[in-house]
């Protein structure tokens, strides 16, 4: 449109100058400065149109997310960073209301299993999980995130929390239900994992697939550290009900999680991420029986920046110690996993994992196993994965399984935690 | 007894003055320079042009890195924590990594909607805004338009003006300085633009193929004709079927140049080059894509130099 206008003006100018030349009146010839002034004016107008287009995009994109829903009509002009009056979008009230909706995403996780596992049997095929994510900036001080997972057994609020992003002194706080900051894999949703399953130690010691996931508060802050080192402490207080790990028999049976994370870039492509975690809560035997968990996690990542979409390598280990008070004797268990994942090309990933873990209620019983994983990405939004898993349970019970997974993601692609 | 009290009051007043000095010194130290963090190196280069030595500016993504896929490393939080201003490209270019960094930064100044958050797309002319229904059948489309908009000098000027205005708001004491820096940038850019336009004029209408849709604003400004892309759809890696089709198009249209961003694999473009005789040029979409390209001006100088060389040797 602008170019049509520009062309038209240029044509008029051209015609005028021709006419002026023909009329043999030398004074009527528009002189150079006039034309350049006009051109400047056109370019200024163009800038203004572009600025207005930008504001409209901002209105569509950000207005919704940057303001509290209940007062949207009143506070709209105040919060949009536009210098001028907001543009009235005639008849756009319906879509403007929709613009207040949160970002919605759905991630489907289909799993097929072949092979025999007498200890932890899985169905041959299952729509393991359909996770709905609803995420938005709540108001100028907070954002909200919800993850509802629809599994074979019903609906579960996997996470639902408010994050206060504008607290003084650099604190970031959360309230709601959340995956606790105990270690690395416990914080991750299924679709971000490098495997179809979770490591054996997760099932044996730290609550299985749901992990330590509970209602409560969390507060975290970056700590002062020598230059180049990222140090962050997280403290969490929960109700005390998490899978089969913690059980609150009374209101005062709260559980706590503390996590300290240190991170350093070794080079622009390599980094090291270390963490220590501690969790404490009461177990299913009652208020007088404590379970304490200790964890160490270490991750080394490599990703060359110039070829970051083609190659990467992640080496990760997590070690867990469980101390469970029960009758007749306190049980102390240990378990760990080590995994490595290499990205072969833009679409192909190859990985392996070694597992070994005691069981938290019977610590003289130890299971171990290993997995090989191949992942293929048709695009950023879908993923096909095959995993061969061997598990040698205690008493020499062996399980050979082939797991196949298809994951697909609809809607706004939210960012993954690092 | 009285003497002791005198000493005490002396000590108290001394302590008071010392504390005051400390407070003044620390605030003075804090007020010295604005800390600006940008998502990409181009925004950093433009901010540096108008901010001069009154700002400290750092970019999260490197110029030779695919800006869609940056890892949200915790080390970036160390920079964001102290930032007074965060400049982003917007249009969902950074959707995969910037939001969690902003949330975890614990810095209220740079949260979306806060005065220290600036989305530079609002100042720029945006192309390829999808009309009608948008689906991912078209690949990783950006529903708000193509986010690679900074490669048009006109947009560079608009972004610089937007950043200068924001810096004036955040640091009114130095407003005149930022204004003067912008005017100076504007003058130098106009001069450079005339030179670039003149250099590129003989090649207007030339046909090129690009890997990703990274250069629409550049090709439009300089009148180049993009006849195809190495990617079958944005964000989808090349497929054999599409590559064969593209080779036919290149031969039919007599296209001589294939432009590839520095972060894409050269295998497919080179095989296209071998089949068609077109030259494969590693083209920089961003400042810092090569070591010697450190400013917004050098980015155009470098890219235009490469293009002209390729067009000339294609004869």
A220 plus A306 within the same structural domain: yes
pLDDT value at position B302?
Answer: 96
Chain A hits for B91, CB-CB cut-off 8 Å, are 57
Comparing alpha-carbon positions, the chain B residue that sits nearest to A141 is B108
For position B224, which CATH number holds? 3.40.50.1980
A68 plus A217 within the same structural domain: no
B150 plus B40 within the same structural domain: yes
How much helix, strand and coil, in percent to the nearest 5, is found in chain B? 55, 10, 35
Q: Which residue in B103, B155, B166 has the most chain A C-beta atoms within 10 A of its own C-beta, making it the best mutation to test that interface?
A: B103
In a domain, B106, yes or no: yes
pLDDT class for A101, splitting at 50, 70, 90?
A: confident
A198 plus A313 within the same structural domain: yes
B151, B171, B193 - which closes a domain: B193
Q: Is B72 helix (H, G, I), strand (E, B) or coil?
A: coil
Chain A hits for B263, CB-CB cut-off 8 Å, are 305-309
In a domain, B12, yes or no: no
- Condensed to tens digits (0 to 9), the pLDDT of residues A343-352 reads 999 999 999 9
**Pairing state of beta strands A382-393 and A397-411?**
antiparallel
- Condensed to tens digits (0 to 9), the pLDDT of residues A261-318 reads 999 999 999 999 999 999 999 999 999 999 999 999 999 999 999 999 999 999 999 9
Comparing alpha-carbon positions, the chain B residue that sits nearest to A137 is B112
Q: Is A69 helix (H, G, I), strand (E, B) or coil?
A: helix
Name the CA radius of gyration of chain A, rounded.
Answer: 29
pLDDT value at position B162?
Answer: 96
CA separation for the pair A190, B302 (Å, rounded): 45
In a domain, A391, yes or no: yes
- Chain B nearest-CA distance from A9, in A, is 20
B189 plus B205 within the same structural domain: no
Supply B40's token pair. 């990409």
CA separation for the pair A350, A341 (Å, rounded): 6
A231 plus A332 within the same structural domain: yes
Q: What is the separation of C-alpha A298 from the centre of its chain, rounded to a whole number of angstroms?
A: 20
Closest CB from A168, A308, A380 relative to B65: A308
Taking CA atoms, B250 is separated from B224, B246, B313, in Å, by: 15, 6, 17
Taking CA atoms, A184 is separated from A135, A299, B287, in Å, by: 22, 9, 35
In a domain, B137, yes or no: yes
B35 plus B184 within the same structural domain: yes
Decide if A51 and B123 are in contact by the 8 Å CB cutoff. Answer: yes
pLDDT value at position B144?
Answer: 87
pLDDT value at position A274?
Answer: 97
B185 plus B244 within the same structural domain: no
The structure tokens 């039919």 sit at B252
B238 plus B108 within the same structural domain: no
pLDDT value at position A362?
Answer: 85
pLDDT value at position A175?
Answer: 98
A344 part of contact set with chain B, CB < 8 Å: no
Comparing alpha-carbon positions, the chain B residue that sits nearest to A62 is B113
A307 part of contact set with chain B, CB < 8 Å: yes
Chain B hits for A167, CB-CB cut-off 8 Å, are 106, 108
A64, A81, A98 - which closes a domain: A81
For position A198, which CATH number holds? 2.40.160.10
Q: Is A72 helix (H, G, I), strand (E, B) or coil?
A: helix
Taking CA atoms, B77 is separated from A322, B107, B301, in Å, by: 32, 9, 33
B154 plus B132 within the same structural domain: yes
Comparing alpha-carbon positions, the chain A residue that sits nearest to B139 is A379
C-beta of residue B297 within 8 angstroms of C-beta of residue B275: no
In a domain, A418, yes or no: no
In a domain, A87, yes or no: no
Whether pLDDT at A80 is above 60: no
Q: How open is the CA angle A335-A339-A344, to the nearest 5 degrees?
A: 170
pLDDT value at position A99?
Answer: 73
In a domain, B2, yes or no: no
B178, B193, B208 - which closes a domain: B193
Written as tens digits, the pLDDT of chain B (315 aa) is 445 455 656 565 555 555 554 444 444 445 579 999 999 999 999 999 999 999 999 999 999 999 999 999 999 999 999 999 999 999 989 998 999 999 999 999 999 989 999 999 999 999 998 887 778 888 888 888 999 999 999 999 999 999 999 999 999 999 999 999 999 999 999 999 999 999 999 999 999 999 999 999 999 999 999 999 999 999 889 999 999 999 999 999 999 999 999 999 999 999 999 999 999 999 999 999 999 999 999 999 999 999 999 999 865
The structure tokens 């029960």 sit at A326
Decide if B113 and A143 are in contact by the 8 Å CB cutoff. Answer: no
A193 plus A269 within the same structural domain: yes
Supply B191's token pair. 């001069």
pLDDT value at position B194?
Answer: 95
In a domain, B17, yes or no: no
Element containing residue A145 per DSSP (H, E): strand A142-151
Q: How many CB pairs under 8 A join A and B?
A: 145
A19 plus A163 within the same structural domain: no
A178 plus A69 within the same structural domain: no
In a domain, A89, yes or no: no
Decide if B100 and A418 are in contact by the 8 Å CB cutoff. Answer: yes
A30, A65, A81 - which closes a domain: A81
B64 plus B91 within the same structural domain: yes
Domain extent at residue B211: 196-313
B193, B228, B256 - which closes a domain: B193
A206 plus A312 within the same structural domain: yes
In a domain, B21, yes or no: no
Decide if B100 and A143 are in contact by the 8 Å CB cutoff. Answer: no
- Chain B nearest-CA distance from A167, in A, is 7
Chain A hits for B115, CB-CB cut-off 8 Å, are 81
- Chain B nearest-CA distance from A380, in A, is 8
Of A41 and B36, the one with more pLDDT: B36
pLDDT value at position A369?
Answer: 96
Q: What is the separation of C-alpha A360 from the centre of its chain, rounded to a whole number of angstroms?
A: 30
Domain extent at residue A309: 106-411
Q: What is the separation of C-alpha A323 from the centre of its chain, rounded to a whole number of angstroms?
A: 31
Average pLDDT rounded to a whole number, residues A84-104 = 57
- Is the peptide bond between A105 and the residue preceding it cis, with omega within 30 degrees of 0? no
B294 plus B168 within the same structural domain: no
Look at chain A and count its residues: 418
Chain B hits for A265, CB-CB cut-off 8 Å, are 73, 75
pLDDT value at position B5?
Answer: 54
Q: Is A37 helix (H, G, I), strand (E, B) or coil?
A: helix
Number of structural domains (chain A) is: 2
Q: Is B37 helix (H, G, I), strand (E, B) or coil?
A: strand
- The complex's ipTM works out to 0.83
A233 plus A368 within the same structural domain: yes
**Cα dihedral sign for A68, A69, A73, A79?**
positive
pLDDT value at position A18?
Answer: 45
A340 plus A292 within the same structural domain: yes
B260 plus B212 within the same structural domain: yes
The DSSP letter of residue B41 is H
B84 plus B140 within the same structural domain: yes
Q: Which residue in B106, B155, B166 has the most chain A C-beta atoms within 10 A of its own C-beta, making it the best mutation to test that interface?
A: B106
CA separation for the pair B107, A164 (Å, rounded): 11
**Where does chain B have alpha helices with state H?**
2-31, 41-51, 74-80, 98-104, 153-170, 175-200, 216-221, 240-253, 267-276, 296-313
B182 plus B288 within the same structural domain: no
In a domain, B3, yes or no: no
pLDDT value at position A45?
Answer: 87
Whether pLDDT at A413 is above 80: no
Cβ-proximal residues to B67 (8 Å cutoff; 6+ apart), any chain: B39, B40, B61, B89, B93, B94, B286
Whether pLDDT at A111 is above 50: yes
B221 plus B122 within the same structural domain: no
In a domain, A310, yes or no: yes
Of A297 and A363, the one with more pLDDT: A297
Across chain A, what does the average pLDDT equal?
A: 84
A165 plus A65 within the same structural domain: no
The DSSP letter of residue B122 is G
Number of structural domains (chain B) is: 2
Chain A hits for B264, CB-CB cut-off 8 Å, are 309
In a domain, B11, yes or no: no
């Amino acid at each position: 449109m602008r170019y049509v206008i520009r062309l038209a003006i240029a044509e008029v100018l051209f015609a005028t100058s021709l006419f002026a030349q023909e009329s043999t009146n030398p004074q009527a010839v528009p002189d150079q400065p006039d034309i350049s002034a006009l051109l400047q004016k056109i370019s200024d107008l163009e800038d203004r149109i572009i600025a207005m287009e930008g504001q409209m995009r901002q209105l569509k994109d950000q207005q919704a997310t940057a303001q509290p829903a209940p007062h949207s009509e009143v506070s709209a002009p105040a919060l949009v960073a536009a210098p001028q009056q907001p543009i009235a979008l005639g008849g756009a009230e319906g879509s403007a209301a929709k613009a207040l909706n949160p970002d919605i995403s759905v991630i489907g996780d289909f799993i097929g299993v072949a092979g025999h596992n007498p200890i932890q049997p899985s169905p041959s095929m299952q729509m393991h999980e359909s996770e709905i994510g609803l995420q938005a900036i709540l108001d100028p001080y907070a954002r909200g995130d919800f993850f509802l997972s629809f599994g074979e057994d019903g609906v579960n609020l996997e996470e639902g929390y408010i994050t206060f992003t504008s607290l003084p002194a650099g604190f970031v706080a959360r309230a709601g239900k959340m995956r606790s900051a105990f270690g690395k894999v416990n914080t991750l949703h299924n679709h971000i994992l490098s495997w179809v399953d979770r490591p054996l130690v997760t099932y044996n010691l730290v609550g299985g697939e749901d992990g330590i996931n509970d209602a409560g508060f969390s507060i975290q802050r970056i700590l002062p550290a020598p230059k180049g080192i990222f140090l962050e402490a997280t403290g969490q207080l929960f109700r005390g009900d998490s899978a089969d790990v913690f059980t609150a028999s009374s209101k005062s049976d709260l559980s706590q999680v503390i996590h300290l994370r240190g991170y350093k870039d070794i080079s622009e492509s390599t980094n090291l991420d270390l963490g220590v975690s501690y969790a404490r809560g009461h177990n299913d035997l009652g208020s007088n029986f404590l379970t304490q968990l200790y964890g160490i996690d270490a991750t080394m990542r490599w990703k060359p920046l110039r070829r970051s979409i083609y190659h990467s390598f992640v080496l990760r280990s997590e070690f867990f110690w469980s101390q469970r008070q029960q009758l007749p004797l306190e049980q102390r268990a240990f378990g760990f996993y080590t995994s490595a994942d290499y990205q072969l090309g833009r679409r192909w990933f190859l990985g392996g994992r070694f597992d070994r873990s005691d069981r938290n209620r019977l610590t003289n019983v130890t299971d171990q196993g290993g997995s090989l994983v191949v992942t293929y990405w048709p695009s950023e939004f879908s993923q096909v994965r095959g995993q061969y898993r061997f598990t040698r349970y205690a008493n020499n019970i062996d399980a050979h399984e082939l797991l196949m997974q298809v994951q697909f993601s609809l809607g706004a692609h939210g960012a993954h935690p690092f | 007894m009285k003497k002791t009290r005198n000493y005490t009051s002396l000590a108290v007043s001394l302590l008071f003055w010392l504390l005051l000095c400390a407070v003044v010194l620390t605030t003075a130290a804090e007020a010295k320079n604005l800390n600006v963090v940008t998502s990409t190196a181009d925004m950093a280069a433009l901010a540096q042009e108008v901010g001069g030595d009154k700002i400290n500016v750092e970019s999260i993504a490197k110029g030779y890195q695919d800006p869609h896929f940056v890892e949200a490393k915790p080390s970036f939080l160390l920079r964001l924590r102290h930032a007074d201003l965060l400049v982003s490209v917007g249009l969902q270019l950074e959707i995969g990594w910037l939001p969690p960094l902003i949330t975890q930064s614990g810095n209220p100044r740079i949260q979306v909607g806060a005065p220290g958050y600036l989305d530079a797309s609002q100042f720029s002319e945006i192309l390829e805004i999808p009309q009608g229904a948008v689906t991912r059948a078209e690949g990783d489309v950006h529903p708000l338009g193509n986010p690679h908009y900074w490669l048009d000098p006109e947009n560079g000027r608009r972004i610089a003006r937007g950043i200068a205005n924001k810096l004036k708001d955040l640091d009114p004491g130095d407003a005149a300085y930022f204004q003067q820096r912008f005017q100076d940038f504007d003058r130098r850019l106009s001069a450079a633009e005339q030179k670039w336009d003149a250099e590129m004029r003989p090649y207007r209408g030339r046909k090129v193929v690009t890997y990703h849709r990274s250069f629409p604003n550049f090709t439009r400004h300089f009148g180049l004709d993009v006849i195809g892309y190495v990617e079958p759809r944005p964000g989808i890696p090349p497929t054999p079927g599409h590559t064969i089709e593209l080779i036919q198009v290149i031969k039919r249209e007599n296209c001589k140049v294939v432009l590839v961003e520095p972060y894409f694999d050269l295998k497919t473009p080179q095989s296209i080059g071998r089949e068609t005789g077109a030259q494969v040029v590693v083209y920089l979409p961003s400042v810092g894509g090569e070591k010697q390209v450190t400013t917004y001006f050098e980015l155009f100088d470098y890219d235009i130099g490469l293009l002209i060389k390729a067009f000339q040797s294609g004869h």
